[in-house]
Copies of this chain bind each other. A is one copy, B any other.
Amino acid sequence: MPDQQPLKVGILGATGTVGQRFITLLSTHPWFTIHALGASSRSAGKPYSVAVNWKQTTPLPSLIKDIVVQECVPQAFAECAVVFSGLDADVAGDIESAFRAAELAVFSNAKNYRRDPHVPLIVPLVNPDHLSILPQQQALHSPPLTKGFIVTNANCSTTAHVIPLAALEKAFGPLDALMVTTLQAISGAGYPGVPSLDIIDNVVPYISGEEEKIEWETRKILGGISTSDTLQEFDMHADTPLKISAACNRVPVTVGHMINVSLQFARRPPPSPQQVCEALRAYQPDAQLVGCPSAPLQTITVHDEPDRPQPRMDRAFQEGAGVSVGRVRQCPVFDIKFVVLADNVSIGAATSSIINAEYAVLKGVVQ
């Protein structure tokens, strides 16, 4: 890749919260160059700096200011080797489908196609090998495709906890039960998102649809792909019927989802807390080994201090591309409990899409 020309990329939903993070991250990317920005017709035709209500804590990159926002139609993105989607779910379905049909490679944060049996749901630090479903996705499309496809990445909370879970399954074999309680940042709800009257001096023990997403997506990501006849199928963690219960809370934190995890391994006796720490620290996902430039140097940082990780202190480490784990200890009910923290807007959203695309480039899936 280093020898090639920069690849042109487009961003759908460019004015939204995730779209803004895409811009921040991609404006200095070593391989990708922002070529087209798509948003709603209300924004289309305006320079990006006029269309956007910029809410990042770093300034809008000056090279981006004057790019004229486009409608989200494939023609405007025809030259893009990769199209990143930060679209809202209410429009993502049709638009992403149209882009794929136009032979564009779509890497999406939206939830619409995550449960599609031919669309991979990829947390890049866990299961980028699920890209192998793409030929089938293209072949079964009507008409069949040669370049177009959709790759999704996971819900921001799912992404956070599935990374250490993958490290533990790799080291100690399958999990069989998992109880997670989230404390999720307001940025996860986009902008304007959570009204301040609902969250100052308060927490809200409910996020619509979130618990179901965590319980379902975790199985697809941690599971493998089985082949029956010639059809590939996501096995949804068939090796062990993985029971998962999630309880989701919104907390007055700007960025950084924190998750309390208790888990049980299939194997007896289970690993000790110290063995768990070692396995987490040693975890090197394929995306890191093959050289994705946005992958973190250290995928999982394990804290020894009793009171870490914390959102405000740890979210920005490694530009939010890794996850932090702490308080690894025995669970009196299950085997092990610990705390995970991830930047919900970076590795929880835009960074995951970007590493997925980097991996696809390295594997020749994106041409």
Contact = CB atoms under 8 A, between A and B. Distances in A.
Nearest to A195: B192
B202 A311 contact: yes
Q: What's the interface size class on A, roughly?
A: 35 or more
B197 A260 contact: no
Interface in A190-233: 191-206, 208, 215
B243 A57 contact: no
A191 B197 contact: yes
Interface centre among A179, A307, A334 (most CB of B within 10 A): A179
A339 interface: yes
A62 to B, nearest CB: 13
A183 B186 contact: no
Interface in A324-343: 326-327, 331-334, 337, 339
Contacts of A178: 333
Interface centre among A206, A208, A258, A312 (most CB of B within 10 A): A312
A63 interface: no
B201 A307 contact: no
Contacts of A333: 177-179, 243-245
A102 interface: no
Contacts of A240: none
A157 to B, nearest CB: 14
Given A312-B57, A332-B243, A197 B187 contact: yes
Contact of A195 (B195, B249, B334): B195
A206 B331 contact: no
A193 B204 contact: no
A133 interface: no
Contacts of A201: 200-201, 252-254, 311-312
For this chain, the copies found in one complex come to 4
Interface centre among A57, A193, A260, A337 (most CB of B within 10 A): A260
A197 to B, nearest CB: 6
A245 to B, nearest CB: 4
Contacts of A195: 191-196
A209 to B, nearest CB: 11
Contacts of A198: 192, 196, 310
A313 B202 contact: yes
A233 to B, nearest CB: 22
A337 B258 contact: no
A166 B201 CA distance: 29
15 contacts: A55-B197, A55-B313, A57-B316, A179-B179, A186-B200, A195-B195, A200-B254, A201-B312, A205-B307, A206-B307, A245-B262, A245-B333, A245-B337, A247-B260, A249-B258
Interface of A: 55, 57-59, 177-179, 181, 183, 186-187, 191-206, 208, 215, 243-245, 247, 249, 251-254, 258, 260, 262, 306-313, 316-317, 326-327, 331-334, 337, 339
5 closest Cβ pairs, A-B complex: A192-B195, A181-B181, A206-B307, A202-B312, A245-B333
Given A243-B332, A254-B312, 6 more contacts: A191-B195, A192-B192, A200-B253, A205-B260, A245-B331, A245-B332
